[in-house]
Chain A
Amino acid sequence: MDITVNILLTIATAATPLLIAAIGELVVERSGVLNLGVEGMMIMGAVGGFGAGYLTGSPWIGLLAAIAMGALFSLLFAVMTLSLATNQVATGLSLTLLGLGLSGMIGTSFVGQPGVRLPNLDIPGLSSIPVVGKLLFGQDPVFYISIVLTAAVMWFLFKTRTGLTLRSIGDSHTSAHALGIKVIRYRYLAVIFGGACAGLAGGHLSLVYTPQWVENMTAGRGWIALALVVFASWRPWRVLAGAYIFGAVWIGQLHAQAFGIPVPSQMLSSLPYLATVVVLVLISRNKRLTMMNTPASLGQPFVPDR
């Protein structure tokens, strides 16, 4: 039983950064913007979070720094694609490349240093309930944030007028503009929110998952988060499901390697990436589904006539 609980806990820990980054990107894409810079924003969050935590000794400050780093980095993307109408794909890629390089540079002095870790929740009485206790009441704070965030985004997008407005921009930015909706402003806010989420996800990596700094420690999770948004057909609860499935695959192959299964470790390590490809293929096969759910203005630059 204990082993199962521990495995479930590791799945949750693996899924959390994927979930947060994907939820953030979901909001961005719902507004019609494609931000391929998630990996870059995440790694910047990771290095910022680790660095701030290491230098101040407080993981909480680290967490705030991670969020801020992600948001700031995404601001760069926002200015380029929203105010200067640059190609979103190229700009997003550049953001990732820049982020990977910049984080490597900032993090040089952090390599090998011991980090600080966010403390797990510990409610006396509740957390010690067998099985359920640790799962529900004994996880790290970011886990709880991820669940609340998912619910909040769900409520925001589908139950509020502002969320409806955001979705309308994603459907047709020209119609939204014609109605007097401030398209660029909404998109700025969405992109920065997405950046903050990606930063938070990165902070989770370096402050909870492995409280260390390793270059390129995101290992492609930002890209998987992007795939998750497609897999979820841009719906928040499906992102949750997808993140946990992927978290399971990610952790599963690590556990399998630890168990000594007679399969080459590299093959196991490539499972998450292959799984991503398979999942994408399955979801995109249904053209009707894709057409009905994809925000119609996704990725198109918007320059209003004035």
Chain B
Amino acid sequence: MSANHDGANLLEVRGLTKIFGTLTACDHIDLNIAKGEIHALLGENGAGKSTLVKMLFGSLEPNSGEIFWNGQAVRITSPGAAKKLGIGMVFQHFSLFEALTAAENIALSLDDGSPISSIAAKARALSYSYGLPLDPDSLVGDLSVGERQRIEIIRCLLQTPQLIILDEPTSVLTPQEADKLFETLERLRSEGKSILYISHRLEEVKRICDRATVLRHGKVVGHCNPREETAASLARMMVGNEVQAVVRAPVDGIETAQPLLEIRGLTRKPATPFSIPLKNISLNVRAGEVIGIAGVAGNGQGEFFESVSGEVLQQDAASVRIRGKDAGGLTITGRRLLGAAFVPEERLGHGAAPRMKLSENLLLSRHATDGKAFVGAGGMVKSGAIYAASQRIIEAMDVRKSAPDPEAAALSGGNLQKFIVGRELDRRPSVMVVNQPTWGVDAGAAAHIRQALIELSRSGSAVLVISQDLDELFEISDAIAVLHNGELSKPMPIAEATFEKVGLLMGGAEPGHAEHTLETA
């Protein structure tokens, strides 16, 4: 499978270190990649993977350490230098220009002055030959996330790199699209190219990678052959101590439980040229259960969340009902007063105001819902009360911070998310709607949040979780529905759900239509 090693490694990294202020993001990292090898870089969120590859790609400069390319010591000072060496990178967050065409986007990342038409032709040909077809004249703003990733990949391949770095490529793909990508990667390997594959998805890594380097807290904890390891042993290397597995007790009496959140025929026209319309969505979430909504990013999750939360109102007041009352015409404050709580996808700038303190951020969602506890007569804010409450939440959720009441932006992603979720849980809401509960959150905090959501449901609340992480949904949901292109499938009880079935729905197949069955790793 892998090409011949002719002795010298393509890439060797020794003692690479990067420090930001007081934080050592990468601590004396060693790494070797041979020619024709798919090498995994494993680690959970915050382990230093992205920092490491940014140094390999010239976006960041290391504080110390050496990089050897084909046996020669090199200094990679800019992305341009990296490209000249033959290193290409496909970032997790794309660097695309929405108002320009795919060809123009590609042209901007190539340094030559060749006319756009010839670049467009080359791109089209290359994309088809690698099985990732692309229309160079389409506007990026009109493309789906998977299609945008293709532009990134093609733009990278056009520069004929020797080493291709992929940062979490499958996080935005359906399982079927991911399979297509793996075929492409295997083809590249057979051509003698090397791939550095960053992921925290162990089954994928075991499936396609030849070797792996595992990072934890900025340090290398081991090199291994993933095929000789189990998912559990890899996880242990990544996370260290055993992470508490999430405990999901079965639900009693669910059939007779009341639906606390009812969505009936929810329809919404696209608000902007780039947004997804919602088409006749119906769903009930009963007391005591967790319903998961799967789906690749860009299929209407944000729009759906805004409609349910009340940030956008509905014409038909009965299209959203909370605890038996019509809520479609109520604002978010009105819905909160009915007992609902909401956690949006974006932490900074949506769920929390970045430059405001945690205690002030408490007020964000609870200035009307707690009687006179936080806001007194005449609108006076009770700073003592909000401080005390926020400290209570910080303790309950084990939020790590550097000052007693810091600005939201000073917290790490995981800790801020714990606070935001904790802020809502503190109210013991009857209905909880969460969009991407653990995106970008380290494993410990993620487990804590997931357990908290389950416990909330078991205490009698209705919990709705929207997530792109299938593993997570399978861990915590009692039933899974799929959102594709603004339409919601019928929820599948967890006992009947498989990755394949859900994956097909995520890709847009009608339930019941036969697609070729895929082997799961």
**A and B touch in their complex, CB below 8 angstroms:** yes
Cβ of B60 within 8 Å of any chain A Cβ, yes or no, is yes
- Decide: B97 and A171 in contact? CB cutoff 8 A: yes
CA distance A176 to B107 in the complex (A): 12
Binary flags per residue of A85-115, CB closer than 8 Å to B gives 1, else 0: 0000000000000000000000000000000
| Known contacts A161-B113, A180-B78; A168 and B100 CB within 8 A of each other | yes
B272 within 8 A of A: yes
B59 — which chain A residues lie within 8 A by C-beta? 178
| B273:A288 contact, CB within 8 angstroms | yes
Report whether B60 and A179 are in contact in the complex, using a CB–CB cutoff of 8 Å: no
Give the residue of B60, B97, B104 whose beta carbon is less than 8 angstroms from that of A172: B97
A180 to B84, CA, bound (A): 13
Most A Cβ at <10 Å: residue of B60, B78, B97: B97
CB contacts under 8 Å to A, within B166-203, are none
* B80 A167 Cβ-Cβ under 8 A: no
Shortest distance between the CB of A176 and any CB in chain B (Å)? 8
Chain A residues, CB < 8 A from B78: 180
* Residues of B contacting A306 in the complex (Cβ-Cβ under 8 angstroms): 60-61
Given contacts A288-B273, A291-B273, A292-B273, contact A164 B108 (CB under 8 A): yes
Query: A174 contacts the other chain (Cβ, under 8 Å)?
Result: yes
A211 to B387, CA, bound (A): 66
Question: Is residue A120 within 8 Å, beta carbon to beta carbon, of the partner chain?
Answer: no
Q: Per-position contact with B for A272-306: 1 when CB-CB < 8 Å, else 0?
A: 00000000000000011001100010000000011
Interface size class of B (residues with CB under 8 A): 20 to 34
Bound: A172/B98 CA distance, A? 8
Task: Output the nearest chain B residue to A169 by Cβ-Cβ distance.
Answer: B97
Which B53-67 residues have C-beta < 8 A from chain A? 58-61
Our pick among B58, B60, B98 for the contact of A171 (Cβ within 8 Å) is: B98
On chain A, the residues within 8 Å of B99 by CB distance are: 167, 171, 292, 296
- Assess whether A164 is in contact with B107, with CB atoms less than 8 Å apart: yes
Interchain CA distance A161-B109 in the complex, whole Å = 11
8 Å CB contacts to A: which residues of B497-520?
none
Q: Are B109 and A179 touching (Cβ within 8 A)? A: yes
Known: A179-B108, A181-B108. A164 touches B100 (CB 8 A): yes
Residue B79 CB within 8 A of the other chain: yes
Given A161-B113, A164-B108, decide whether A178 and B100 contact each other with a Cβ distance below 8 A: no
A175 within 8 A of B: yes
A171 to B101, CA, bound (A): 12
Contact residues of A between 171 and 208, Cβ < 8 Å to B: 171-172, 174-176, 178-181
Residues of A within 8 A of B107 (CB): 161, 164
A257 beta carbon closer than 8 Å to chain B: no
Q: How far is the CB of B238 from chain A (nearest CB, A)?
A: 26
B69 at the interface (CB under 8 A from A): no
| Chain A neighbourhood of B109, CB < 8 A | 179
Q: Which residues of B contact A175 (CB under 8 A)?
A: 94-97
The reply to whether the CB of A269 lies closer than 8 angstroms to some CB of chain B is no
Interface membership of A165, Cβ < 8 A: yes
Q: How far is the CA of A179 from the CA of B93 in the complex (A)?
A: 12
- What is the CB-to-nearest-CB distance from B225 to chain A, in angstroms, rounded to a whole number? 33
Least CB separation from A304: chain B residue:
B59
Which residues, 122 to 167 on A, are CB-close (under 8 Å) to B?
A: 161, 164-165, 167
Give Cα A179 to B94, complex, Å: 10
A168, B97: Cβ atoms closer than 8 Å: yes
- Within the assembled complex, what's the spacing in Å between the Cα atoms of A180 and B98? 18
Q: What separation, in Å, do the CA atoms of A203 and B60 have in the docked complex?
A: 46
Give A155 to B81 CA distance when docked, in angstroms: 31
Residues of A within 8 A of B104 (CB): 164, 168
Question: Given the complex, which residues of B lie within 8 Å of A165, measured CB to CB?
Answer: 108
Chain B's nearest CB lies how many Å from the CB of A87?
14
* Max chain A Cβ within 10 angstroms of own Cβ: one of B95, B96, B107: B95
Q: Residue of B at shortest CB range from A174?
A: B95
Residues 265-283 of B contacting A (Cβ, < 8 Å):
272-273
Please tell me if the beta carbons of A180 and B79 are within 8 angstroms of each other in the complex.
Answer: yes
Is B439 positioned at the interface, with any CB of A under 8 Å from its CB?
no
Chain B residues near A296 (CB-CB < 8 A): 98-99
Bound-state Cα–Cα, A112 to B357, Å: 58
B91 part of interface (Cβ distance < 8 Å): yes
Q: How far is the CA of A164 from the CA of B104 in the complex (A)?
A: 8
| Nearest B residue to A162, CB-CB | B113
Against A, the Cβ 8 Å flags (1 = close, 0 = not) of B82-118 are 0000000001001111111000100111000100000
Max count, chain B CB within 10 A of own CB: residue among A178, A288, A306: A178
Given A164, A172, A176, A178, which contacts B91 in the complex, CB threshold below 8 Å?
A: A178
Shortest beta-carbon distance from A286 to chain B in Å: 11
A192 to chain B, nearest CB (A): 23
Interface pair A179/B79, CB less than 8 Å apart: yes
Collect the chain A residues with CB atoms within 8 Å of residue B91's CB. 178
Name the residue on A nearest B78 (C-beta). A180
> Which B residue sits closest to A160, measured CB to CB?
B113
Whether A168 lies near B108 (C-beta < 8 A) is yes
A164-B104, A288-B273, A306-B60 given as contacts; is B80 within 8 A of A180 (CB)?
Answer: yes
Q: Which of B60, B80, B99, B104 has the most CB of A within 10 A?
A: B99
Residues of B within 8 A of A305 (CB): 60
Closest to B139 in A: A292
When chains A and B are docked, how far (Å) is the Cα of A274 from the Cα of B502?
A: 58
Which chain A residue has the least Cβ–Cβ distance from B105? A168
- B54 — nearest CB in chain A belongs to which residue? A305
Q: Which B residues are CB-close (under 8 A) to A168?
A: 97, 100, 104, 108
Partner of B95, one of A178, A291, A292: A178
A252 to chain B, nearest CB (A): 36
Q: Contact: B100 with A167, CB < 8 Å?
A: yes
Nearest chain B residue, comparing its CB with the CB of A175: B95
Interface flags for B140-175 (1: CB within 8 Å of A; 0: not) read: 000000000000000000000000000000000000
- With a cutoff of 8 Å between Cβ atoms, the chain B residues found around residue A288 in the complex are 272-273
Can you name the residue of chain A whose Cβ is closest to the Cβ of B94? A175
A residues in contact with B80, CB < 8 Å? 180
In whole angstroms, how far apart are the Cα atoms of A175 and B105 in the complex?
10
The complex places the Cα of A247 from the Cα of B97 at a distance, in Å, of 36
Q: For the complex, what is the distance from the CA of A164 to the CA of B58, rounded to whole Å?
A: 24
Complex Cα gap A181–B109 (Å): 9
CA distance A292 to B140 in the complex (A): 12
A–B complex contacts, Cβ < 8 Å, 16 sampled = A164-B100, A164-B108, A167-B99, A172-B95, A172-B97, A175-B94, A175-B95, A175-B97, A176-B95, A176-B108, A179-B79, A179-B95, A181-B108, A291-B273, A296-B98, A306-B60
B residues in contact (CB < 8 Å) with A: 58-61, 78-80, 91, 94-100, 104, 107-109, 113, 272-273
Give 5 new A-B contacts, CB below 8 A, not counting A172-B95, A172-B98, A175-B94: A165-B108, A167-B99, A178-B79, A291-B273, A306-B60
Rank and list the top 3 A-B pairs by shortest CB-CB distance, nearest first. A175-B95, A178-B95, A171-B97
